[in-house]
Amino acid sequence: MFNQRNANDDRYLLVLGADILLRERAIVSALRTYPGQVLGMAPTPDGQNRFFDDVLRADYYNAEDALAAVKRYELETGLRPAAVVPIIEMTVHVSVAISQHYGLPSLSEEAVGLSRDKHTMKAAFEAAGVPCARHRTFSTLADLREVSEELTFPLVLKPRDFAGNTGTIKVDSPDGLPAAYDHCRDELLAIAPLYDFSDGRFQAEEFVRSTHEVSVEVLNYGDQRAVLAVTDKSKLPAPHFTEIGQLVPSRESDNDAVRDLGIKACEALGITRGIAHVEILVNGADLSVVEVAARPGGDGIMDLIDRVYGFSPYDLHYASYLNTLDELPKIPREPRGIGAIRFLKAPVGTITAVNAVEQFTDEELALYVTAKAGDRSHTASSYLTRDGVMEFFRPGAKAAADPVAFQKAVAELAAFRTKAVFTVAEEGDSR
């Protein structure tokens, strides 16, 4: 039967942030699950994604600009959004602003405020009995020196308003505070114009000792919540703890304490819509929540879940925003295999060549090189210093039973590929 999508319907699904690397399958899910038109948003024509039915011309980091574009589109076409769904961190507040104008389901402003500000987030955790690091806020170096006297070293400094390890740095003693403050502030100011961030919004936390870190993807639908999956994170050591990979299923996938804490963290912040990404430090039975983002986990985690468990988390994310779930479905727990994402980092120096890979193993699904010849490769300190990414998958329940071994194999293969792909004139990093 000829299946014609209803182009005359007066509603469309607006997706914010699915055009970014490793979020693109959110577009696939939207086109598969929504019966009408699916729209994106971009500030310029060169940012338009050809997979959308249409692209609104606006900055999807700016709520006022984005709402104005949706209103203009309604005047021009008569079409209104059926739901406005955030895929990345900095579009959550924008989705709320547009949704509130049109009376659509969305997160509350209070939930957005709690989940976007690391200080109010941890205050909410403390009030709800969710374990987390002791912290203090600061604006200047003088403030930092003062609040550090109320905390126990080592400390971790970070901006209050952003994710992706940007500005994060460990400091072991009071002598290290000036240099650590400069790093934290400089990295924030480098991206502040793009996201309209304010200077002087920083946080110092007591360092929490752990053996590893996981993330829990939680589906929220009103007062109903369910864990979709648990992910093992690969991170570089101090001082920046830069994330370099993700793996599903986690060694903690069947740990009920981890899963329950992910749900409790979402409850503490009042997250009632869509997928939330909960990061947890694990040290035996001791757990500590790092932070929660009120949107799907990035770094290809949704794709890993899809590959390993056979369902798309994005389908459920959209259904929550569209109010099309009668109740939460039963989430598959038996893995079909094990999957991983690993980010490539060229040695510090100037990249003089990016070399092609002639043959891949069966477990290597994709290689995306984001750096190019002539680029300067800096010390890995955040997502901004990545030079490429690889995707891996090994089928079979037996493979999924040993995440640690697979993680090691992935790390070795990614290191081998990094050395082959990048030719670098190595030199000291001036940053």
The residue type found at 292 is: V
Please provide residue 363's backbone torsions phi and psi, each rounded to the nearest 5 degrees: -85, -15
Rounded Cα distance between 245 and 234, Å, is: 5
Angle (CA) 23-289-249 rounded to 5° is 50
How confident is the model at residue 162, as a pLDDT?
65
Rounded Cα distance between 319 and 82, Å, is: 11
The three-class DSSP label of residue 216 is strand
How confident is the model at residue 283, as a pLDDT?
98
pLDDT digits (tens, 9 = 90+) for 40-53: 999 988 766 788 99
How confident is the model at residue 309, as a pLDDT?
97
Please provide residue 112's backbone torsions phi and psi, each rounded to the nearest 5 degrees: -65, -45
Other CB atoms closer than 10 Å to residue 319's CB: what's the count?
20
User: Helix 92-102 crosses helix 109-116 at what angle (to 10 degrees)?
Assistant: 170
The residue type found at 2 is: F
Within its chain, how far is the Cα of 223 from the centroid? 23
How confident is the model at residue 2, as a pLDDT?
36
Sheet containing strand 422-426, edge to edge, reads 376-377, 349-354, 422-426
> How much is the pTM?
0.93
The three-class DSSP label of residue 312 is coil
Thinking of the domain 134-206, which architecture would CATH place it in?
Answer: 2-Layer Sandwich (3.30)
Cis peptide before 239 (omega within 30 of 0): yes
Cβ neighbors of 267 (< 8 A, separation 6 or more) are 128, 225
How confident is the model at residue 228, as a pLDDT?
98
pLDDT digits (tens, 9 = 90+) for 126-172: 999 999 999 999 999 999 999 999 999 999 999 998 666 788 999 99
| Residues linked to residue 225 through DSSP beta bridges, in sequence order | 220
How confident is the model at residue 163, as a pLDDT?
60
In this prediction, the residues of the chain whose per-residue pLDDT falls under 70 are 1-8, 47-48, 162-164, 427-431
The residue type found at 343 is: F
Long-range contacts of 135-139, Cβ-Cβ distance < 8 Å, separation of 24 or more: 135/203, 135/204, 135/205, 135/206, 136/203, 136/204, 137/201, 137/202, 137/203, 137/204, 138/202, 138/203, 138/204, 139/200, 139/201, 139/202
Rounded Cα distance between 104 and 124, Å, is: 26
Q: Locate the domains of the chain by residue range.
A: 11-106, 134-206, 209-334, 336-431
| Residues linked to residue 13 through DSSP beta bridges, in sequence order | 38, 83
How confident is the model at residue 384, as a pLDDT?
80
- Domain pair 209-334 / 336-431, same fold: yes
At the topology level, CATH places domain 11-106 in Rossmann fold (3.40.50)
Per-position DSSP letters for 80-116, written without gaps between them: EEEEEEE-SGGGHHHHHHHHHHHT-----HHHHHHHH
Angle (CA) 72-88-171 rounded to 5° is 135
Long-range contacts of 233-239, Cβ-Cβ distance < 8 Å, separation of 24 or more: 233/279, 234/342, 234/407, 234/411, 236/380, 238/170, 239/169, 239/170, 239/171, 239/180
Q: Would you give the DSSP letter of residue 323?
A: T
How confident is the model at residue 431, as a pLDDT?
46
CATH 3.30.470.20 corresponds to the domain 336-431: yes
Cis peptide before 249 (omega within 30 of 0): yes
Angle (CA) 402-288-251 rounded to 5° is 5
Asked whether the beta carbons of 277 and 265 are under 8 A apart, the reply is: no
CATH class of 209-334: alpha beta
The residue type found at 402 is: D
C-alpha distances in angstroms, 195 versus 24, 60, 162, 264? Answer: 21, 10, 9, 29
How confident is the model at residue 430, as a pLDDT?
43
pLDDT digits (tens, 9 = 90+) for 375-424: 999 888 878 889 999 999 999 988 899 999 999 999 999 999 999 999 99
How confident is the model at residue 4, as a pLDDT?
47
Cis peptide before 159 (omega within 30 of 0): no
